[in-house]
Structure 1
Amino acid sequence: MAKLNVEIVTGERVVFSEQDVDMVVAPGADGTLGVLPQHAPLITLLDAGELRIKKGGSEQSIVVFGGFMEVTPDRVVVLADSAERAEEIDVAEAEAARGRAESSIANRQETADLALATSSLRQANLRLKIGRRRGGSRPPTMGGGSSE
Structure 2
Amino acid sequence: MADNSVLTVSIVTPDGKVYECETATLVVVRTMSGQLGIMPNHIPVIASLEVDEAKVKHDGNEDEIAVNGGFVEFSDNNLTIIADSAEKQGDIDVDRATNAQHRAEEHLKEARQKHDDQDILRTQVALKRAINRIHVAKR
Correspondence for 2:138: 132
Equivalent residues in 2 for 1:1-148, closer than 5 Å: 2-108=5-111, 109=114, 110-133=116-139
- 3-state SS, counterpart of residue 138 of structure 2: helix
- Deviation of 1:95 after TM superposition, in Å, equals 0.7
Give, in whole Å, the separation in 2 of the partners of 1:17 and 1:95.
Answer: 27
Report the TM-score when normalising by structure 2: 0.91
Indicate the percent of aligned positions where both proteins have the same amino acid: 33
| Alignment gaps of 5+ in structure 1 | 134-148
| Alignment gaps of 5+ in structure 2 | none
Give, in whole Å, the separation in 2 of the partners of 1:23 and 1:31.
Answer: 16
Give, in whole Å, the separation in 2 of the partners of 1:44 and 1:2.
Answer: 23
Q: Cα RMSD (Å) of the superposition?
A: 1.2
Higher strand share: 2
Give, in whole Å, the separation in 2 of the partners of 1:87 and 1:20.
Answer: 20
- Deviation of 1:25 after TM superposition, in Å, equals 0.4
Question: Runs of at least 4 residues of structure 1 off by over 4 A?
Answer: none
Q: Which has the higher contact order (CA 8 A, sep 6+)?
A: 1
Report the TM-score when normalising by structure 1: 0.85
Residue type of the alignment partner of 1:96: N
- Number of equivalences: 133
